[in-house]
Amino acid sequence: MKNREPTLSDRASNALFVAVMRLVQRLPYERRIPAAGRMVARLAPILGFTRKIRENLRIACPDLSEDEIKRLQREMPDNLGRMLAEIYSGEEFVARVRDLPIEGPGAETLEAAHREGRPVVLAAGHFGNYDAWRAALAGRGYRVGAIYRPMNNPLFNEQYVSTISAIAEPLFSRSRRGLGDMMKFLRDGGMVAFGFDQHFNKGAELSFFGLPARTPLSAAEMALKMKADLVPIYAIRQPDGLNFKIYADKPVPHSTPEAMTQTLNDGLEEMILKHMEQWLWIHRRWKVKRA
């Protein structure tokens, strides 16, 4: 499908974003990343992030104190700003993460699959910096790709895809051609990352934070179809705000797509509860409210 022509609003918002990124790029890396975090945190009320974070926290974690909600309203946008500055730092970012060890019970599974040329479906949430583990896997010589949904703003999408392609390739768009290319890559023994933590109208109604959440089954379905390991993976930002721990959880046993995806939801929920500020609380994940 042909991309639509960018609107005036598309051009204005993309120009603003590019200008901000160019401004922060002038700083040394160790100052650039926290500066970008502070900038996005200060813009959070204007961008509507503050309201969305509060709404989602009230739905998912109604017992949180007001102080904790306010902390997350500051720190989640800070993490987002850091992540954007990191991926737009190109080789400087990749150099910091590509030699990180892969920890966790799934690390051995990934190594064996790479050695034996077997496919792996990686299950990833919008947590930490999801491009950090891509760079770390690619740095070990793993063939790692990712499937993505093109963004609404065609100008931003073009330069964003170019930026994340420099971290690791290939990338597959959510299109008929992209799906075909992705399946061929898996058959050839590649690893492909699927997101699963955003609302999907046609998804299964599973549980997330004790609430019904429409969840895509595509990661589990693809693992079953390709007879591939399904491995949840995370890049957990460390207390210094600059470094990461790459953690591969144990592979999800093959059963039904619904049961496998519920395991993914449960694992991500557990990880979020340990690092609340590192999940992207601005998505409208739930279309229900607690009683």
Kindly give, in sequence order, each residue whose CB lies less than 8 Å from that of residue 3, ignoring residues fewer than 6 positions away: 150, 154, 157
Q: Which residues of the chain have pLDDT under 50?
A: 1
Place of tokens 């947590």: 127
Kindly give, in sequence order, each residue whose CB lies less than 8 Å from that of residue 243, ignoring residues fewer than 6 positions away: 96, 237
Question: 241 by DSSP, 3-state: which?
Answer: coil
Task: Note the pLDDT tens digit of each residue in 179-229.
Answer: 899 999 999 999 999 999 999 999 999 999 999 999 999 999 999 999 999
pLDDT for position 16: 77
Describe the strand order of the beta sheet including 244-248 as a list of residue ranges: 102-103, 244-248, 229-237, 120-124, 191-195, 144-148, 171-173
pLDDT for position 3: 60
pLDDT for position 1: 43
With contact defined as beta carbons under 8 Å apart, do 33 and 184 qualify? no
pTM, rounded to two decimals: 0.91
| Gap between the Cα atoms of 132 and 108, Å rounded | 19
Task: Note the pLDDT tens digit of each residue in 217-251.
Answer: 999 999 999 999 999 999 999 999 999 999 999 99
Structure tokens at 146: 């990712």
pLDDT for position 147: 83
Question: 252 by DSSP, 3-state: which?
Answer: coil
With contact defined as beta carbons under 8 Å apart, do 191 and 122 qualify? yes
pLDDT for position 291: 54
CA separation, residue 23 to residues 27, 81, 105, 117 (Å): 8, 13, 41, 43
